[in-house]
Structure 1
Amino acid sequence: MTATSDESVQPAVAGVRVDVGVATATGRRDSNEDSVLAEGGVYVVADGMGGHDAGEVASATAVGTLRALVGTVPELSQVVDVLRGAHERVRDLPSHSSRRPGTTVTGVVLTEHEGLPCWIVLNVGDSRTYRMVGGVLEQITTDHSEIALLVARGLVPADVAARHPRRHVVTRVLGGGASEVEPDVWLFPVSPGDRMLACSDGLTDELTDRRIQAELRAADGAQEAADRLVAAALSAGGHDNVTVVVVDATVPRR
């Protein structure tokens, strides 16, 4: 269940140390189409699109492209450029049907802005990135999905969205049939006690945000938190691949 990450490759941001936990499971699927990158200040999860050709190749291609950010202190524009490059590489993958390979991607990159350590949160698709500080969990990313649009427009109640038949239809991915992609990126300071979570929808399909928060609160370290979340998703049904990256950051107090 536990995947590997190279915690010896710490971020290049001065004074920041991280504790990283990575866990993944195939669930009830035949293979695991999720990919992960967790080293050198880059902590992302990519979920190859189910039903598309070579989803596992698409997700691996995306995180392989994002590896260019490892050990750097990038600007927002650099992260956007790398994501657009990942889109082009996934889009160029060979396909043997009318459905092109595609993948979601979400997570965080550590950087600096005006002398302060900051998170760059990135997202394309319906995988998610959360932040927990002071024991309170907050979803940072916005799902790029049909159901998220329907909820935002008041056409579907939020409490039934998790059971809606269109909940897995994504509106934005790396690759697929679109010629271009517009990734979401956010920048905000790292706070003492930040616990960041990036996950594929195999976690959020099975666990409510309240349950995710409880599991994160119960774990002392990042690896324990990652293992607890994946185990809970499997116990709840584990219908899909589930992958999580948990990042605890320690920053010097000013």
Structure 2
Amino acid sequence: MPEAATQSRTVPLQDGALELQWSAITHTGRRREVNQDAVLAEYPLFVVADGMGGHIGGEIASSRTIERLRAVVGKGEVTPKTIEKALARAVADIASHPEATDDGTGTTVTGVYLDTSTPEPTWVTLNIGDSRVYLFRDGGLAQVTTDHSVVQELISAGRLSPEEAENHPYGNVITRAVGPSDGVSPDYVRLEVQDGDRFVVCSDGLTKELTDYGILHFLLQHEDPTEAAVDMLEAALENGGRDNITIIVLNVRRIASSPAAD
């Protein structure tokens, strides 16, 4: 089992602080020879990229996308503008490997970042493809991102039920990706910051093997992000591990400032 460790960060706010804890883990799975997933879990940006393409093409796409986003974190200004500039650079990186990539090469990029540019911070999710961001809040789990996939389009059009979608032959076909010939922008969703929130960012290698209820089960069973992520991974492997599996679990605790002493 890959190593994973819980990391933490305290973010000062005008009226207190946020305590963040997170853990990230990735695994090749039981049927793939190469792990074409890549992961970035560095405050304030938490992202999963699931590459697709030839033997190394998908790996190039996901790793270059993550490295371009890592550079954004290093410069300290994570915004839609800086994210999209990084993705444009990743597209150029992918296209610069014609020997290993083609029009079918690309990667998902899905995640969440903390926006502290305003007095009241917010979370912002970003998504291209069919990796997912889930939010655990008030005891329930909700999928925040919407898959860019043929199956999701059929569900949205009322032509397919979620149950029918689980084994649909086009289940792996995505309609938007970061690739060598496409300049695409993510979908964004802004969320308020609440005490007790927990995020799960994952590639479809997890959701192919574990239902939303299963993800919720392991969050309820484990408060520690590493323990939750490792148990989700083990369950996904036990259920077949048909694809690469990547998981980030992020916990949010909001602390109010103490009243000033008299």
Question: Highest Rg: 1 or 2?
Answer: 2
Cα deviations by residue, 1:44-86 (Å, 9 ceiling, x for unpaired):
1111115465211211100101113326353333333333333
Q: Which residue, 11, 15, 18 being the options, matches 1:16?
A: 18
2:118 maps to 114
Find out whether 1:82 has 2:86 as its counterpart.
Answer: yes
Cα 1:97–1:132 change in 2 (3 A) is closer
User: Cα deviation per residue 1:79-112 (whole Å; 9 max; x = unaligned)?
Assistant: 3333333334334433446444311111111122
Between 96-105 and 43-52, report the one with greater CA deviation: 96-105
Asked if the contact 1:83/1:183 (under 8 Å) is kept, the reply is: no
**Distance of 1:82 and 1:12 partners within structure 2:** 25
Q: 1:133: Cα distance to partner?
A: 1.2
CA contact (8 A) 1:5 1:37 kept: no
Any idea what the Cα deviations from partners look like across 1:17-46, whole Å, max 9, x if unmatched?
211111221112111111111112111111
For 1:175, what is the secondary structure of its paired residue?
A: coil
2:260 aligns with: none
The answer to whether the Cα contact below 8 Å between 2:21 and 2:251 also exists between their aligned partners in 1 is yes
- Given that 2:27 and 2:244 are in contact with CA atoms closer than 8 Å, whether structure 1 keeps it comes out as yes
Deviations 1:171-226 (A, max 9, x none): 10011442x21211122222101111110000001111111111111112111111
Structure 2 unaligned runs (5+)?
258-262
Which letter maps to 2:24?
V
Q: Does 1:127 align with 2:131?
A: yes
Show the counterpart of 1:144: 148
Compared with structure 1, are the counterparts of its residues 217 and 53 closer, same or farther at alpha carbon in structure 2 (3 Å cutoff)?
same
Q: Identify the match of residue 190 of structure 1 among 189, 193, 196.
A: 193
Q: State percent identity of aligned pairs.
A: 39
Counterpart for residue 165 of structure 2:
161
User: Is 1:35 aligned to 2:47, yes or no?
Assistant: no
TM-score (normalised: structure 2): 0.87
On the 8 A contact 2:54/2:105 being kept in 1, the answer is no
- The alignment yields a C-alpha RMSD, in angstroms, of 2.2
Q: Is residue 106–residue 129 contact of structure 1 (8 Å, CA) maintained in 2? A: yes
CA contact (8 A) 1:11 1:39 kept: no
2:54–2:101: 8 Å Cα contact kept in structure 1? Answer: no
- For 1:55, the aligned partner's letter is G
2 CA distance for matches of 1:54 and 1:13?
41
